[in-house]
Amino acid sequence: MPHDQLEAIQLEGIKKTVINCYENVPFYHDLFDQAGFDPYAVETLDDIRKAPFTTKQDLRDNYPFGFFAVPKNEVREIHMSSGTTGVATVAGYTDHDLDIWGDCFARGIWYADGGSDDVAQICYGYGLFTGGLGAHYGCEKAGCMTIPISAGNTERQIRVLREMGSTILCCTPSYAMYIADTALAMGLDPKKDFHLRAGIHGAEAFSDNFRADLEQKLGYKVLDVYGLTETMGPGVAIECMEQNGLHLAEDHFYAEIINPETGEVLPDGEWGELVLTTIDREATPVVRYRTRDITRIIPGECACGRTHRRIDRLHGRTDDMLIIRGVNVFPSQIEDVMKTFPQVASWYQIELTRKNHLDVVTLKAEVNPDFDFDQISSIERLQRDIQSAMKTALSVGIKVKLVEPKTIARSEGKAKRVIDLRGDDK
């Protein structure tokens, strides 16, 4: 579908969503009134920018049913996500909501040219967590023979993978790796003994290296799936076989990328916080929900030809974000740059201090043994190269200092990446 037709659908849906929220969810009635947002005056997609944001805290404050826009007898299912603070948020689903959920997740299987000839093994946990049932509805919708095995009991997973000839694996990426490693340890060759074609893995971030490793071990293609309970569950966006960004289900969700500090909407291509508005959810619609996930809209069309825009693979959470001299910096951006310098890669740390009220950033990196450091000039060149790569990637000047081995504190085999000492201004 051409993108302008899609935008027409989005606009119609958003108009209904904001009115529905205003008329049926007291929280939104008050929120819109306080913000001076008129839900009846939305004429263009840009008008949604006038609406206030919804946060996870708002959902918590209205536990359990405060966000329901339909009577409870129309709700078929609920899911809950618990935050670290313990208070849960609740999402409700009508028959229609369950139907679009299945449709959104099924796209991953369709992207992999899957369907009724496939055997889908779902080892996400079933329950209040949206992973299990979301994948289940999607696999059923796509016509797969669906195995609701749920998580755990890895040896049984491996037996089922062999005996049922599962072709599609739905689980977290780390569990897929665990299955692969267990199978290898049992003396199996998953590439021959299993029949996997594709894995739809989400709920955790994973690196490109991790993906390559997993694909090599299991002999299949790994597609990243994104979603969150607050707007539905897995299926909000899924990668196609190009593996170059996740196609948003734009017919059901309207996405914006904002500067998490100012709330300003950012142009395509810029990294920021993903904000979602549901287009046709009935039970628990949300307006401008702040996901706290960091991504960007990938500009341009995907090589697969689909017109739904893509978000990039997640770059962490706004909770991890640093603000340095007013610029938002995500630790994962620093990680990306450091990966390109094998001379130092593994152990480094960012130290933030403040001098004369100005932020000073020092990146300390341990020199690797195979780096030829015999000349001062090679050390200085490396320092300069890292500094300029950081400046390009982050738009912030930082000082790089190479340090001796084991000078960066480790805890449980991991370096603490950021030390913020800006509280003690000198």
User: Where do contacts with other proteins occur on this chain (CB under 8 A)?
Assistant: 366-367, 369, 372-376, 379-380, 401-407
Partner touching 404 among other proteins, Zn ion, none, CB below 5 to 8 Å by kind: other proteins
Q: How far is the CB of 377 from Zn ion (least distance, A)?
A: 46
Contact segment (CB under 5 A) with Zn ion among 138-146, 189-197, 296-304, 359-367 equals: 296-304
Pairing, β 410-411 against β 399-403: unpaired
Query: Which C-beta is closer to other proteins: that of 128 or that of 367?
Result: 367
What b-and-e string marks burial along 235-247, b requiring 16 or more CB atoms within 10 Å of the CB?
bbbbbbeeeebbb
Partner touching 325 among other proteins, Zn ion, none, CB below 5 to 8 Å by kind: none
Residue with tokens 């020199």, as numbered in its chain: 367
Partner touching 376 among other proteins, Zn ion, none, CB below 5 to 8 Å by kind: other proteins
Contact segment (CB under 5 A) with Zn ion among 61-69, 239-247, 260-268, 292-300 equals: 239-247
In angstroms, rounded to a whole number, what is the distance separating the alpha carbons of residues 132 and 77?
Answer: 14
Q: How far is the CB of 352 from other proteins (least distance, A)?
A: 19
Q: How far is the CB of 372 from other proteins (least distance, A)?
A: 7
Partner touching 304 among other proteins, Zn ion, none, CB below 5 to 8 Å by kind: Zn ion
Q: How far is the CB of 406 from other proteins (least distance, A)?
A: 5
3-state helix, strand, coil in the chain (%, to 5): 35, 25, 40
Partner touching 242 among other proteins, Zn ion, none, CB below 5 to 8 Å by kind: Zn ion
| By CB under 5 A, residue 240 contacts Zn ion | yes
Partner touching 341 among Zn ion, other proteins, none, CB below 5 to 8 Å by kind: none
Those residues with Cβ within 8 angstroms of residue 238's Cβ, 6 or more apart along the chain or in another chain: 104, 105, 107, 108, 111, 200, 223, 224, 225, 226, 246, 247, 249
| By CB under 5 A, residue 304 contacts Zn ion | yes
Q: How far is the CB of 296 from other proteins (least distance, A)?
A: 36
In angstroms, rounded to a whole number, what is the distance separating the alpha carbons of residues 202 and 223?
Answer: 8
Query: Which C-beta is closer to other proteins: that of 84 or that of 375?
Result: 375
What b-and-e string marks burial along 372-381, b requiring 16 or more CB atoms within 10 Å of the CB?
eeeeeeebee
Q: Which of 242, 261, 312, 335 binds Zn ion (CB under 5 A)?
A: 242
Partner touching 380 among Zn ion, other proteins, none, CB below 5 to 8 Å by kind: other proteins
- CA 99, distance to chain mean position in Å, is 23
Distances (CA, A) of 307 to 110, 177, 237, 246, 298: 15, 32, 13, 12, 12
Partner touching 240 among other proteins, Zn ion, none, CB below 5 to 8 Å by kind: Zn ion
Query: Which C-beta is closer to other proteins: that of 6 or that of 403?
Result: 403
In angstroms, rounded to a whole number, what is the distance separating the alpha carbons of residues 402 and 363?
Answer: 8
Query: Which C-beta is closer to Zn ion: that of 138 or that of 245?
Result: 245
Sign of torsion, CA 271 273 274 277? negative
User: Got the DSSP string for 24-62?
Assistant: H-HHHHHHHHHHT--GGG--SGGGGGGSPPB-HHHHHHT
Q: Which residues bind Zn ion (CB under 5 A)?
A: 240, 242, 302, 304, 306
